Amino acid sequence: MLKVLFFARIREELACSGLELHWPDTRLDLYTLQEQLCAEHGQSWRDILTQDNMIRAVNQKVVTDNCELNDGDEIAFFPPVTGG
C-alpha cells in the first residue's frame, strides 16, 4: 500500500487531504506515481501537482529528484513552508 498526503494550499486546491493506493506489484518511482495521479484525476490535478515550487517528501523526508518507491511508503505533496 502507498499513502499519499496533501497539505495546506495543495490540499485545498485538490479538495483532497490524502489517498491510499494499492502497491502495484511492480517497480514504481515518484514521478511515475505523480503521472498516474494526474492521468487519473484530470487536468486540474496535473496543473497543481506540477507547479514549480511543489515540495515532495517520501517517508517524511524532502526529495528534490525522482526516487524509487517501496510498498508501505508515505508520499506527501506540499507548498513551501511558512511556519515559525
Partner 1 sequence: MENISINVHEADFDVAGLQRGLLSGLSEEGAVATFTGYVRRANDDRQVSTLELEHYPGMTEQSIKTIIDEAADRWPLLAASVVHRVGRLSPGDQIVWVGVASTHREAAFSACEFIMDYLKTRAPFWKKELGPFGEIWVSARQDDESRAARWQDDSTP
Sheet holding 61-63, edge to edge: 18-21, 2-6, 74-78, 55-58, 61-63
For 54, which DSSP code? Answer: -
Q: Which stretch binds partner 1 (CB under 8 A): 24-32, 39-47, 53-61, 63-71?
A: 53-61
Q: How far apart are CA 62 and CA 60, in angstroms?
A: 7
CB of 25 to partner 1, least distance (A): 27
Instruction: For residue 82, state whether it binds partner 1 (rule: CB under 8 A).
Output: yes
List interacting residues with partner 1 (CB under 8 A): 5, 7-9, 12, 53, 57, 60-62, 76, 78-84
